Amino acid sequence: MLVKRDAGIKMKRIKVELGKNSYDIVLNQGGLAHVGEELNKLVKGKQVLIVTDENVAKFYLAPLKQSLELAGYKVEEQVIPAGEKSKNPSTYLELIDILGNLKFLRDDTVVALGGGVVGDLAGFVAATYMRGINLVQVPTSLLAMIDSSIGGKVGVDLPYGKNLLGAFYQPKLVFIDVDTLSTLPENEWNNGLGEGLKYALLDGGRLFDIMNDQSVKANLQEFVELCADYKARIVEKDEKESDLRRLLNLGHTLGHAIEKKSNYELPHGEAVKYGLKLILQASGRLNGNINLDNEITLINKYDANIPYDVEELVSLITNDKKAESDSINAVFVKSAGNCYIKKLSFEEFKKLF
Amino acid sequence: MLVKRDAGIKMKRIKVELGKNSYDIVLNQGGLAHVGEELNKLVKGKQVLIVTDENVAKFYLAPLKQSLELAGYKVEEQVIPAGEKSKNPSTYLELIDILGNLKFLRDDTVVALGGGVVGDLAGFVAATYMRGINLVQVPTSLLAMIDSSIGGKVGVDLPYGKNLLGAFYQPKLVFIDVDTLSTLPENEWNNGLGEGLKYALLDGGRLFDIMNDQSVKANLQEFVELCADYKARIVEKDEKESDLRRLLNLGHTLGHAIEKKSNYELPHGEAVKYGLKLILQASGRLNGNINLDNEITLINKYDANIPYDVEELVSLITNDKKAESDSINAVFVKSAGNCYIKKLSFEEFKKLF
């Protein structure tokens, strides 16, 4: 056997309550070999397609496949090139074609093994084949564990913009083995930490302390659990991003502009980190110069020297929004743990930077 | 003006209650010019893409476009070839591409003007562009008015089967002007009547009487209204076809086999009509030879001489289901107005025919 199934491994369960669409986030260290038995509790169909990328396949495809086969599944795999470029409509249709060719049925399952790209792409495949078949997310990047694998946003990019084709579709299970982070490249690690800083500011409690005073790596399972739980609680209240869920966009208004400005060469989480710093500075001004030094100090601990001209970024945002609206809904900070959504006119928004 | 907006036109409203996804079916005779003002009540975005086919465009594209433009919308159109072949993944992506190119935003709208093919295709486009934008169904075939435009099933065909790629996605509005049926070809009319017979058997009341003793054409708005209302009441209780909604598959177990046997040359509604006759005969046997003569007489009034060998059809069904199950859930009839779902083993099912 490639991976030992250890009966002693603790499975932490975070429930995401969404009525008929409810599911568990199962969190553990070293439990990858247990995916098969978890799946047995949830689905009837006996066919599984694992979608993964070439980087992740090297380490985790074989053990995952074995776990599923031992649990009685007929397992097929599709390994895609690593990177955002795979998140496109033609790769999407190729995967759909594979399911059709294998005669997958409504009770069968797609397992997304990898980071955000794999999760979004395979998730959209599962969301639309036969109007939706079972989806299991097995995130292997920090960003996917704490953010993209939870909440049901799936899709692919179009030439006109990121995530322009997609759906809201909840998985049957999110299975997080934090030990899979041991092989994560440094740049992907930083990518996740950027998004982690968002949770630290939203939460203000233990997550802030871990990121400010301690090591994320030394508290890894707890860190992932707290972030995942934070997101789950928000998604429960607002599945389709009509209201509260917009809080999760803290740092993203400027973050998206920074990504765009970098021609999407800067990783998402890094862009969010810069976005957080800028919105903290703006939040201070918006609230009559309140003191957000502690919060800004936290961000600076993670190297946040913004490589772009701020005025230019702000223009980019207002130009983008013009077609849609004459105002901007952005998330601001009163203090760590106390964030809020505020609508500003373009003029008011510009003045803050 | 191409079409007069007549303040005297009566708009009958059927509410489909689905929580946040609720919408109205607006029914009228000659009210096509009022689509624009109905849309004004519902959506904020000012861009509309009308998707229609070449047959329908000839009659109704210009007046619909004018109605929308008069209501303040910027209207684009895409005319696709008529027929099932247009319901494919590449036409789907072409339409998505048009929306991206035109910079459609979340509050903008896709209007499906036509029969089931247009509604399913354009519906899937609206369901997945930006994870879902506004969708308005303007059905112009009898089948689409009484069945496919209501209930949120959208999608396209794959080489492996019909409707294999799709979603459940509710429109913001279904706008039915029964006067558009005046240009419906005879074969399309019969196609709709086949599905109408299903409602007549499910309902057993006024719908049965109209189809049995009277003329559908002479009672057109009432007929469409009763069918649409019947479907709306079922969809409300079971949006995603987990249970009750399967009643709407009356006649479809054999109907689908007949369609397949005909290489999809026989229209769907015609196949359903034959399927209804066969399931009525089987229902009689299943219930200790109850008398379903009135029900069978109704079907026969619509020319129901089945052009296929029944045993062969039944084998086709059991072979298809084998991969999935060892039994069949089919809808049977006790009497018009009293239908039920029953699970049978393959052997039990075969014996009935």
Active-site residue, selected from the candidate residues A34, A65, A256, A261: A256
pTM for this model (two decimals):
0.95
| Selected residue of B107, B131, B169 to mutate for chain A interface (largest A Cβ count, 10 A) | B131
Query: Active-site residue B195, yes or no?
Result: yes
Nearest by CB to residue B131, choosing from A89, A103, A168, is A168
CB contact under 8 A, A155 and B131: yes
To the nearest whole angstrom, how far is the Cα of A320 from the nearest Cα of chain B?
Answer: 11
- CATH 1.20.1090.10: which residues of chain A? 195-350
Residue type, A160: Y
The bridge status of strand B47-53 relative to strand B74-80 is: parallel
Tokens 């009308």, residue? B50
In angstroms, what CA-CA distances link B187 with A73, A94, A179, B162, B190?
Answer: 46, 36, 62, 21, 5
Q: Is A201 exposed, middle or buried (0-12, 13-18, 19+ CB in 10 A)?
A: buried
- CATH 3.40.50.1970: which residues of chain B? 3-184
Q: Is B307 exposed, middle or buried (0-12, 13-18, 19+ CB in 10 A)?
A: exposed
pLDDT, position B9: 86
- Report the 10 Å Cβ neighbour count for B131: 22
Query: How far is the C-alpha of B155 from the C-alpha of B166, rounded, in Å?
Result: 4
The bridge status of strand A47-53 relative to strand A134-139 is: unpaired
What is the SS3 string spanning chain A? CCCCCCCCCCCEEEEECCHHHCEEEEEECCCHHHHHHHHHCCCCCCEEEEEEEHHHHHHHHHHHHHHHHHCCCEEEEEEECCCHHHCCHHHHHHHHHHHHHCCCCCCCEEEEEECHHHHHHHHHHHHHECCCCEEEEEECCHHHHHHHCCCCEEEEEECCEEEEEEEECCCCEEEEEHHHHHHCCHHHHHHHHHHHHHHHHHHCCHHHHHHHHCCCHHHHHHHHHHHHHHHHHHHHHCCCCCCHHHHHHCCHHHHHHHHHHCCCCCCHHHHHHHHHHHHHHHHHHHCCCCCCHHHHHHHHCCCCCCCCCHHHHHHHHHHHHHCCCCEEEEEEEEECCEEEEEEEEHHHHHHCC
* Spatial CA neighbour of A140 closest among A193, A79, A98, A183: A183
* Spatial CA neighbour of B261 closest among B319, B339, B188, B203: B319
Tokens 């759906």, residue? A167
Query: Active-site residue B186, yes or no?
Result: no
Q: Which residues of chain B have pLDDT under 70?
A: 1-5, 323
Q: Which residues from B are below 8 Å from A97, CB to CB?
A: 158
Class of the CATH-defined domain A195-350? mainly alpha
To the nearest whole angstrom, how far is the Cα of B128 from the nearest Cα of chain A?
Answer: 5
Q: Give the pLDDT confidence of A151-198 residue by residue, as tens digits.
A: 999 999 999 999 999 999 999 999 999 999 999 999 999 999 999 999
Instruction: Show the tokens assigned to A101.
Output: 């060719």
Provide, rounded to the nearest whole percent, the portion of chain A with pLDDT above 70: 98
pLDDT at residue A3 is higher than 60: no
Residues B32, B33, B36, B42: is their CA dihedral positive or negative?
Answer: negative
Active-site residue, selected from the candidate residues A12, A65, A87, A153: A153
pLDDT at residue A1 is higher than 60: no
Instruction: Show the tokens assigned to A271.
Output: 């862009």
Query: How far is the C-alpha of A108 from the C-alpha of A116, rounded, in Å?
Result: 22
CB contact under 8 A, A167 and B167: yes
Q: Which residues from B are below 8 Å from A104, CB to CB?
A: none
Q: Which residues from A are below 8 Å from B89, CB to CB?
A: 93, 96
B interface residues, A as partner, C-beta within 8 Å: 20, 89, 93, 96-97, 100-101, 103, 105, 107, 127-132, 153, 155, 158-161, 163-168, 240, 323-324
pLDDT band, very low/low/confident/very high, at A242 (cuts 50, 70, 90): confident
Query: How far is the C-alpha of A60 from the C-alpha of A113, rounded, in Å?
Result: 8
CB contact under 8 A, B100 and A158: yes
Query: Active-site residue A37, yes or no?
Result: no
Instruction: Determine the residue of chain A that is closest to B132 in CA distance.
Output: A167
What is the SS3 string spanning chain B? CCCCCCCCCCCEEEEECCHHHCEEEEEECCCHHHHHHHHHCCCCCCEEEEEEEHHHHHHHHHHHHHHHHHCCCEEEEEEECCCHHHCCHHHHHHHHHHHHHCCCCCCCEEEEEECHHHHHHHHHHHHHECCCCEEEEEECCHHHHHHHCCCCEEEEEECCEEEEEEEECCCCEEEEEHHHHHHCCHHHHHHHHHHHHHHHHHHCCHHHHHHHHCCCHHHHHHHHHHHHHHHHHHHHHCCCCCCHHHHHHCCHHHHHHHHHHCCCCCCHHHHHHHHHHHHHHHHHHHCCCCCCHHHHHHHHCCCCCCCCCHHHHHHHHHHHHHCCCCEEEEEEEEECCEEEEEEEEHHHHHHCC
Instruction: Show the tokens assigned to A295.
Output: 């919060």
Provide, rounded to the nearest whole percent, the portion of chain A with pLDDT above 90: 86
Overall average pLDDT of the A28-44 stretch: 96
To the nearest whole angstrom, how far is the Cα of B67 from the nearest Cα of chain A?
Answer: 23
Query: How far is the C-alpha of A68 from the C-alpha of B78, rounded, in Å?
Result: 46
Instruction: Show the tokens assigned to B132.
Output: 């879902």
Q: What length is written for chain B? A: 353
To the nearest whole angstrom, how far is the Cα of A131 from the nearest Cα of chain B?
Answer: 4
Instruction: Show the tokens assigned to B271.
Output: 């196949």
pLDDT, position A5: 64
Query: How far is the C-alpha of B264 from the C-alpha of B261, rounded, in Å?
Result: 7
Instruction: Determine the residue of chain B that is closest to A88 in CA distance.
Output: B93
Q: Is B204 exposed, middle or buried (0-12, 13-18, 19+ CB in 10 A)?
A: middle
Active-site residue, selected from the candidate residues B37, B88, B241, B246: B241
Nearest by CB to residue B103, choosing from A96, A167, A323, is A323
pLDDT, position B2: 52
Query: Active-site residue B351, yes or no?
Result: no
Question: Contact A53/A79 with Cβ under 8 angstroms?
Answer: yes
Q: Give the pLDDT confidence of A113-129 residue by residue, as tens digits.
A: 999 999 999 999 999 99
Active-site residue, selected from the candidate residues A65, A172, A198, A231: A231
Active-site residue, selected from the candidate residues A195, A259, A270, A295: A195
Q: What CA dihedral angle connects B309, B310, B311 and B314, to 10 degrees?
A: 130
pLDDT, position B1: 44
Please report the ipTM that was assigned to this predicted complex.
Answer: 0.94
CB contact under 8 A, A131 and B105: no
Question: Contact A150/A119 with Cβ under 8 angstroms?
Answer: no
Query: Active-site residue B241, yes or no?
Result: yes
Active-site residue, selected from the candidate residues B34, B65, B198, B256: B256
Instruction: Show the tokens assigned to A282.
Output: 């703006």
As its CATH architecture, domain B3-184 has 3-Layer(aba) Sandwich (3.40)
Q: Give the pLDDT confidence of A279-337 residue by residue, as tens digits.
A: 999 999 997 778 999 999 999 999 888 889 999 999 989 887 776 778 899 999 999 99
